[in-house]
Amino acid sequence: MSDRQGFRVELAPTPEQRQRLGRHAGLSRVVENFCLEKVKAALDQREAEKTYGVADIDLTPVPWSAPALERAWRTEHPERFSWFAGNGLSSRVPKEACRVRAAGFKNFFDSRNGARKGKKIGFPDWRKRKHGSRFRYDANRATPADARLVKVPGVGKVRAREDMSWLTERLADDRARVIGSTVKEVAGRWWISFQLEIDRSDINKHRTALTDAPACGIDVGVKTFATVVDDDGTVTEIHAPKPLKAALRRLRRANKAVSRKQRGSANRVKAVKRLGQVHLNVANQRADFLHKTTTGLARTKRAIAIETLNVTGMIANRRLARAISDLGFGEFFRQLTYKTAWYGSSVWAADRWFPSTKLCGGCGTINRHLTLADRVWSCGCGLVHDRDVNAAGNLLAAMTLDQQAA
């Protein structure tokens, strides 16, 4: 089992099971906040001890690790949280909540020390109800009971809204195993995501890209989501649905409906649920488009040349931030990377500073005066370029030269 993969299915809990799921989500939130409280208390104690002249080696230890946080929880919950033992809640949820908090502390220090890529992240904060309901199980504690039932510890066997035969067949003959699971509520609907170790060799072999499939370069943009140029000269434009742009009016109306309802009222709860449903629809449309597009490219191209975009820097432009976020460039490149590994194709990423758009594909001259408004430009050598087609062709050429040099 060499691959890691997720498998998400929507649950159809009974009212009683829905209540139990909510209690487990509340338990996870309580434990996460308990862990943060213990760490902050230890840090405050250390600062006080330093003012008394206590040596560093004798300072109060901080429970950064998951085992230390778990020990603190086991020691204190019988008195501070006596309701935990009497409600039949799963003991695995606090264990995973401690691991989540410990991972958050590690990410903070790795980010501060430069060991973690991406934007600097802050110190973990208190978890609140408005942050959403979710909790985790370790290993295969939560697992499919059959094609339509999921065994959720502390909740029972919950019906699934989708058929899980694809997963249950692989679990039955040891082609897959569950290594963790996350239960989450979105817009009043409950989902469970299984993290799997799986043998995908049969699937990948059946869907592998052909050896004579074309190689291509892909230039992404706001106007045209992706311009694909194959090595045989074929140009294909892929247009994104832009679900957020299409849903802006509905989002405004749903937000206004929430603001007009009295806090704590049943009508406000309903309005919040309707707002969440609009956001969920937007996310589902974007995910559907990205998965279909990346799967099609990974299965029909033997090699794909892409850009290395600084998406964080791009969305700093307030005029383009919403449009760029609506397209999901980062997720597009992430999915291409793992799907090409599945289907036997490959992805080549250009250097971030490679001038794919400004470089003339004919003579190699760089047009340093090119602006975002210039959709077509002329080079001194006489060639007239469509900026997107030229950029995709330059990426393809750069990948070809790099592969030949290797």
> Looking at the structure, do residues 227 and 145 belong to the same domain, yes or no?
no
Which residues fall within 8 angstroms of residue 168, CB to CB, at 6 or more apart? Answer: 144, 146, 147
> Looking at the structure, do residues 317 and 337 belong to the same domain, yes or no?
yes
Q: How buried is residue 19: exposed, middle or buried, by Cβ count under 10 Å (0-12/13-18/19+)?
A: exposed
Residue 136 predicted with pLDDT over 60: yes
The answer to whether residue 254 is domain-embedded is no
> Looking at the structure, do residues 225 and 104 belong to the same domain, yes or no?
no
The active-site residue out of 32, 96, 230, 307 is 307
Q: What is the pLDDT of residue 42?
A: 95
Residue 388 catalytic?
yes
Per the structure, the count of domains in the chain is 2
| % of the chain beyond a pLDDT of 70 | 100
Residue 1 predicted with pLDDT over 60: no
Write out pLDDT tens, residues 185-204.
Answer: 999 899 999 999 999 988 88
The answer to whether residue 86 is domain-embedded is yes
Residue 16 catalytic?
no
Which residues fall within 8 angstroms of residue 47, CB to CB, at 6 or more apart? Answer: none
Q: Which stretch of DSSP H or E encloses residue 143?
A: strand 143-146
The answer to whether residue 269 is domain-embedded is no
Contact between residue 11 and residue 209 where contact means Cβ atoms under 8 Å apart: no
Contact between residue 142 and residue 152 where contact means Cβ atoms under 8 Å apart: yes
Residue 48 predicted with pLDDT over 90: yes
- The stretch 369-375 carries a mean pLDDT of 87
Q: What is the pLDDT of residue 311?
A: 86
> Looking at the structure, do residues 136 and 191 belong to the same domain, yes or no?
yes
Write out pLDDT tens, residues 277-294.
Answer: 999 999 999 999 999 999
> Looking at the structure, do residues 129 and 31 belong to the same domain, yes or no?
yes
Residue 315 predicted with pLDDT over 80: yes
- Token readout for 20 is 């139990």
The active-site residue out of 32, 219, 230, 326 is 219
136 vs 115, more confident: 136
- The stretch 111-121 carries a mean pLDDT of 87
> Looking at the structure, do residues 74 and 100 belong to the same domain, yes or no?
yes
The answer to whether residue 260 is domain-embedded is no
Give the domain-ending residue among 198, 226, 254: 198
Q: Which domain holds residue 11?
A: 3-198
> Looking at the structure, do residues 93 and 214 belong to the same domain, yes or no?
no
> Looking at the structure, do residues 217 and 360 belong to the same domain, yes or no?
yes
Q: Which of 222, 221, 223, 219 is nearest to 397 (CA)?
A: 219
Domain at 222, CATH number: 3.30.420
Q: What is the pLDDT of residue 406?
A: 67
The answer to whether residue 10 is domain-embedded is yes
Q: What is the pLDDT of residue 380?
A: 84
> Looking at the structure, do residues 87 and 185 belong to the same domain, yes or no?
yes
Q: What is the pLDDT of residue 175?
A: 93
Write out pLDDT tens, residues 249-262.
Answer: 999 999 999 999 99
Q: What is the pLDDT of residue 372?
A: 83
Question: What average pLDDT does the chain have?
Answer: 93
Dihedral in degrees, nearest 10, Cα atoms 396, 397, 402, 406: 100
Question: Residues for the chain: how many in total?
Answer: 406
pLDDT band at 362 (very low <50, low <70, confident <90, very high): confident
Q: What is the pLDDT of residue 56?
A: 85
> Looking at the structure, do residues 378 and 342 belong to the same domain, yes or no?
yes
Q: Which stretch of DSSP H or E encloses residue 33?
A: helix 15-51
Write out pLDDT tens, residues 59-106.
Answer: 899 999 999 999 999 999 999 999 998 888 999 999 999 999 999 999
- Report if pTM > 0.75: yes
> Looking at the structure, do residues 86 and 234 belong to the same domain, yes or no?
no
- The stretch 336-347 carries a mean pLDDT of 94
Give the domain-ending residue among 169, 198, 227: 198
394 vs 85, more confident: 394
The answer to whether residue 271 is domain-embedded is no
Residue 119 predicted with pLDDT over 90: no
Which of 5-19, 287-301, 312-326 shows the lowest mean pLDDT across its residues? 312-326
Q: Give me the phi and psi of 142, to 5 degrees please.
A: -100, 130
The answer to whether residue 219 is domain-embedded is yes
The answer to whether residue 30 is domain-embedded is yes
Distance between CA 302 and CA 308 in Å, rounded? 19
> Looking at the structure, do residues 181 and 217 belong to the same domain, yes or no?
no
Residue 386 catalytic?
no
